[in-house]
C-alpha cells in the first residue's frame, strides 16, 4: 500500500522467521517462495519518492521564470545590434593667407555659416529613427505556429497550468499512482517543448529535470508477491 520496499521486506522476513520456528515440512514450498520474493525485491529498483519530490518542487519554481518561445527581444539588445551612426567628416580650417596674397577688402560684409552642428543633429535624428524602426518589426522563424499565436495575457494561464500538472504528478506519487504521475509529467514535458524557448538555459534545466523524473518512473516498479501468495493459498488449502 505504501509502495516502499522496506515494510514489504520486513513483513516477508517476519513470515519467514515464523515458518522457521514452526518447522513444518508442508510449509517448505511457502518458505522457498518467500525467500525468492525477498531476493527479487532486494534487487529491484524502487522509486525514491523524496528525491522526486525535490525535483518536482524545483520544476514548479522554474515555471515562473521560463521564457516563452514568442518572447520579444530585449530593447537593449536591439540598440546594441543597431549600426552606429557614421562619423561626420572633420573639416580642417583653411590655412591663413599671407597679407601679400590677400585680396582687397570688399565693402560688403562677409557671411559664413558653420554646418557641422546641423550634420551632427541630422545623424543623431536618423540614428534614433532607425533604432525605433527596428523595434517595431521583428522577423523570426518559429517551428510551431501555436507558440507564436500565444497571446501575452495567456502566458500567465499557461504557467499556472504547467504548475498544476506538476502538482498532479506530486499527488499521484504520494498516492502511489505511478501511471497517472507518468501521464501528467508527459503532458508537462510536451508543453515545455512546445511553448517555451528551447535555447534558454532555464528551459534546458527544466527539460533535464523532467527527463530524470520520467526515467525513474519508467524503471521503478515494485515487484508483486504472486509466487508467495500462490504458495500461501496452497498451504492454506492443506495441499
Per-residue pLDDT of the chain (239 residues; tens, 9 = 90+): 555 677 788 888 888 888 888 888 888 888 888 888 888 877 776 677 788 889 999 999 998 888 887 764 443 444 444 444 444 444 445 455 544 444 554 444 554 555 666 677 778 888 888 777 777 666 666 555 555 556 777 788 888 999 999 999 999 888 878 888 889 999 999 988 888 888 889 999 999 999 988 888 765 566 778 788 888 888 887 75
Question: What per-residue confidence (pLDDT) applies to 142?
Answer: 56
68 has which bridge partners?
Answer: 196
Question: What per-residue confidence (pLDDT) applies to 125?
Answer: 81
Question: What per-residue confidence (pLDDT) applies to 50?
Answer: 82
> 17-55 burial, b if ≥16 CB within 10 A, otherwise e?
eebeeeeeeebebbbebbeebbeebeeeebbebeebeeb
Contacts with 31 (C-beta within 8 Å, 6 or more apart), sequence order = 16, 19, 20
Question: What per-residue confidence (pLDDT) applies to 42?
Answer: 78
Q: Please, what's the largest Cα pairwise distance for the chain? A: 141
Smallest Cα–Cα separation from 196: which of 155, 163, 153, 165?
Answer: 155
Question: What per-residue confidence (pLDDT) applies to 49?
Answer: 79
Question: What per-residue confidence (pLDDT) applies to 207?
Answer: 92
Cα gap 36→230, rounded to integer Å = 13
Question: What per-residue confidence (pLDDT) applies to 91?
Answer: 46
Question: What per-residue confidence (pLDDT) applies to 197?
Answer: 85
Question: What per-residue confidence (pLDDT) applies to 164?
Answer: 93
Question: What per-residue confidence (pLDDT) applies to 237?
Answer: 78
Q: Which three cell numbers stand for residue 91?
A: 573639416
Cα gap 27→239, rounded to integer Å = 10
Helical pair 226-236 and 28-43, crossing angle rounded to 10 deg: 170
Amino acid at each position: 500500500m505504501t509502495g516502499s520496499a522496506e515494510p514489504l521486506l520486513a513483513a516477508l522476513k517476519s513470515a519467514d522467521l515464523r515458518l522457521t520456528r514452526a518447522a513444518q515440512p508442508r510449509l517448505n514450498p511457502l518458505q522457498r517462495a518467500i525467500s525468492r520474493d525477498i531476493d527479487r525485491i532486494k534487487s529491484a529498483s524502487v522509486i525514491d519518492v523524496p528525491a522526486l519530490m525535490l525535483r518536482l518542487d524545483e520544476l514548479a519554481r522554474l515555471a515562473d521564470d521560463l521564457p516563452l518561445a514568442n518572447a520579444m527581444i530585449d530593447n537593449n539588445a536591439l540598440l546594441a545590434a543597431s549600426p552606429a551612426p557614421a562619423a561626420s567628416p572633420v573639416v580642417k580650417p583653411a590655412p591663413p593667407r599671407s597679407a601679400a596674397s590677400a585680396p582687397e577688402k570688399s565693402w560688403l560684409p562677409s557671411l559664413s555659416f558653420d554646418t557641422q552642428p546641423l550634420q551632427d543633429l541630422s545623424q543623431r535624428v536618423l540614428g534614433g529613427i532607425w533604432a525605433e524602426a527596428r523595434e517595431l518589426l521583428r522577423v523570426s522563424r518559429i517551428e510551431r505556429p501555436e507558440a507564436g499565436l500565444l497571446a501575452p495575457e495567456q502566458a500567465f494561464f499557461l504557467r499556472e497550468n504547467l504548475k498544476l500538472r506538476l502538482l498532479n504528478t506530486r499527488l499521484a506519487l504520494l498516492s502511489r499512482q505511478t501511471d497517472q504521475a507518468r501521464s501528467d509529467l508527459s503532458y508537462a514535458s510536451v508543453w515545455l517543448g512546445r511553448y517555451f524557448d528551447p535555447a534558454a538555459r532555464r528551459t534546458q534545466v527544466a527539460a533535464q529535470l523532467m527527463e530524470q523524473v520520467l526515467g525513474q518512473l519508467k524503471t521503478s516498479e515494485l515487484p508483486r508477491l504472486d509466487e508467495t501468495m500462490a504458495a500461501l493459498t496452497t498451504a492454506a488449502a492443506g495441499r
